[in-house]
Structure 1
Amino acid sequence: MMGRKLKYTGVAILAFAAAVYLNNTSFLAEHREGKPLLLAHRGIAQRFDETGLKNDTCTAARMLPPKHDYLENTIRSMRAGFDAGADVVEVDVHPTTDGQFAVFHDWTLDCRTDGHGVTREHSMVEMKTLDIGYGYTADGGKSFPFRGKGVGQMPTLDEVLSTFPDKHLLINVKSRDPSEGEKLAAVLNGLPAERRIRIIVYGGDEPIDRLRQLAPDIRTASRASLMGCLTGYIGYGWTGILPDDCKNVMMLVPINYAPWLWGWPDRFLKRMQDANTQVFVIGPYHGGGFSTGIDTAERFAQLPDNYSGGIWTNEIETIANLVK
């Protein structure tokens, strides 16, 4: 009797394992056709030494020897990113004291510009007078190759939206202030529906939660949603049921975690597409924060053959050429 029970138990376990495999193997999934969706982080920007970065590190002061003269978060940089092959360009925003959104990365003005103080505590009129290339140096302050060349180059979000009316944008909210989510929702809700579907917003949990409440059709991402989607899908995605954190969002997938995702790549990507979620693969995660992107030919080669999801990169020209 005991032997028969063990036999039935073994058959049941095998049947369950087979069902899980068939429900999740990508070998039996229809291949997603098309080229990868390329996201240019900060458009085309100056690269910097990423060793030991902290939240308050002045990256302009550790710029690598420049290979071009583009400055991040400028109209010119964004246009160059799209021209190089980007499908999406990422921009950073801060609210201003005169009701605008400034497109600028840093929490303060002191590192990158000739201004001083917290970015959001200034008017857009004032920040239009700043030199956003002022602080860049690749030799410890001996020379500043972009000083004087960035005056008036900090755009508003309205300028970006009007300059690129049919382009896809990823907007990064730099604060944890829920009122910023309200202000941004007011801007985005004023756009036509066909424009809003080309926008994704990510940032702190609090402003993103508020934005979701006020503009529920906008795809979003926050640290909480990213971790919730990733861990939830690894935990029970084999059932085909998606966590709520995986619906109508952006999902960032560290390339070293991708093989652990049920149905990777094609079945997984199809599930996310059906949930109106855009997936971008980023560099490997090792416990100290997400990598910045797929930036080299060696890293690109780690993607599956004929991969058709999203790729997050700081080197759009390199990756776009590899895709071609």
Structure 2
Amino acid sequence: MSKQRNQPRKKKWFQRKRIWIPLLFIALLFLGNSSYLAKEPEGEPFLLAHRGMAQTFHMENITNGTCTAERIYPPEHPHLENTIPSMQAAFDAGADVVELDVQWTKDNRFAVFHDWTLDCRTNGTGVTRDYTLAELQQLDIGYHYTADEGKTFPFRGKGIGMMPSLDDVLQTFPNHSLLIHIKSNDPLEGKALADVLATLPAKRLAQLSVYGGDEPIETLKQQLPQLRVMSIATMKSCLIPYIAAGWSGYVPQACAHTQLHIPDQIAPWLWGWPNRFMARMEAKDTRVILVAGSGEVSQGFDVPNDLKRVPESFTGGIWTNRIDLIGPAFHENVEK
């Protein structure tokens, strides 16, 4: 009889065990990845100015083939993207890092210019790499910018000779941090850029990072392993294993000494966001840049109110297309 009486009790105990063990695991999982009990990272976030101080444009129905120069907002400042004056203005406005685009030229130089063709922005035509650097520097890079569907062109005639080379930028800003964007997927561009950057001292190289297509970035990484780089492939090799096993605190070796661009709509789904995630990445010498939206286009934190979406404990980079607005607002908040 006693055995029969104990059987229901054992059954209930096993049923409770099946419930409490998963609940305990979930609780430990939450505590191990919660920022509430984690120490806040030390340091302040930094500002990354996309293309320097640039003219912005509306994003509706934008595609990779959209000519953004033909849809700019009415200009609020006199600068054109990817020029020396725009970069200087960005640093003056509070940028810690300036992002710039490079295109390979016919004479194996790097011009600082966004598009792989010339027709959208300049008074030239054809493919950028079919021209020498000297030929490109004779163009008017502000020729086709318009805010009223072609009725007026506020920068026409003002962009002649304004396209710098990468060498010009490195010489002009020898002590500033730069993020260089290779706009192609040509591995030869990765080799060419590695040859340029290999001449720089280690201290200067530590102030630079490069992102772009998978193939040039892989080539660059092989030749200059000490350089911080990023591509879609490097992002996946870090984040996919982290999403799978990061709940345990595991950080893949692929994350080490790299750069991650994390959309703020996706960031909260990463294990340990923000405090534990940032601490884990900093331990791997990984730089985290927070971009706006879902990551589909180059959205940034572009009006002061956007800064409210940045966690107070975040210590990575904040991507902005409007450093002229965000820089003063950000530094005012820091001083408070």
Identity %: 51
- Aligned in 2, Cα 1:113/1:290: closer, same or farther, shift over 3 Å? closer
Cross-structure match for 2:310: 303
1:211 is displaced (CA, Å) by: 1.0
**Shift >6 Å, 4+ stretches:** none
Deviations 1:108-161 (A, max 9, x none): 011111111111121001111111111111112121111111111111111111
Q: Does 2:317 correspond to 1:322?
A: no
Cross-structure match for 1:206: 215
Q: Does 2:196 correspond to 1:166?
A: no
* Local SS of the residue matching 1:172: strand
CA distance in 2, matches of 1:85, 1:253: 22
Conserved in 2, the CA contact under 8 Å of 1:35 and 1:323?
A: no
CA distance in 1, matches of 2:302, 2:148: 24
CA distance in 1, matches of 2:217, 2:253: 15
Conserved in 2, the CA contact under 8 Å of 1:252 and 1:280?
A: yes
Conserved in 2, the CA contact under 8 Å of 1:254 and 1:290?
A: no
Cross-structure match for 1:142: 151
- Please say which of residues 257-266 and 220-229 is displaced more in the overlay: 220-229
Residue type matched to 2:330 in 1? V
Pick the aligned partner of 2:293 from 284, 298, 304: 284
Pick the aligned partner of 1:74 from 83, 103, 109: 83
CA distance in 2, matches of 1:320, 1:307: 17
CA distance in 1, matches of 2:243, 2:325: 31
Residue type matched to 1:147 in 2? R
CA distance in 2, matches of 1:282, 1:126: 35
Deviations 1:165-220 (A, max 9, x none): 11111110000111111111111111111111111111111111111111111111
Pick the aligned partner of 1:223 from 227, 232, 235: 232
- Aligned in 2, Cα 1:232/1:319: closer, same or farther, shift over 3 Å? farther
Scaled by the length of structure 1, the TM-score of the pair is 0.94
Runs of 5+ unmatched residues, structure 2: 1-9, 332-336
Runs of 5+ unmatched residues, structure 1: none
CA distance in 2, matches of 1:168, 1:274: 21
CA distance in 2, matches of 1:273, 1:133: 40
1:291 is displaced (CA, Å) by: 4.6
Deviations 1:277-311 (A, max 9, x none): 1111111118xx14521112332212222432211
Cross-structure match for 1:34: 43
* Local SS of the residue matching 1:125: helix
Scaled by the length of structure 2, the TM-score of the pair is 0.91
Cross-structure match for 1:65: 74
- Aligned in 2, Cα 1:22/1:179: closer, same or farther, shift over 3 Å? same
Q: Does 2:61 correspond to 1:47?
A: no
Cross-structure match for 1:268: 277
* Local SS of the residue matching 2:181: strand
- Please say which of residues 299-308 and 246-255 is displaced more in the overlay: 299-308
Residue type matched to 2:110 in 1? F
Cross-structure match for 2:28: 19
* Local SS of the residue matching 2:300: coil
Q: CA RMSD in A?
A: 1.7
Cross-structure match for 1:186: 195
Residue type matched to 2:305 in 1? E
- Aligned in 2, Cα 1:156/1:198: closer, same or farther, shift over 3 Å? same
Cross-structure match for 1:156: 165
Conserved in 1, the CA contact under 8 Å of 2:100 and 2:112?
A: yes
User: Which has the greater radius of gyration?
Assistant: 2
Cross-structure match for 2:6: none
- Please say which of residues 19-28 and 8-17 is displaced more in the overlay: 8-17
1:15 is displaced (CA, Å) by: 3.6
CA distance in 2, matches of 1:188, 1:28: 42
1:8 is displaced (CA, Å) by: 3.7
1:320 is displaced (CA, Å) by: 1.8
* Local SS of the residue matching 1:179: helix
1:11 is displaced (CA, Å) by: 4.1
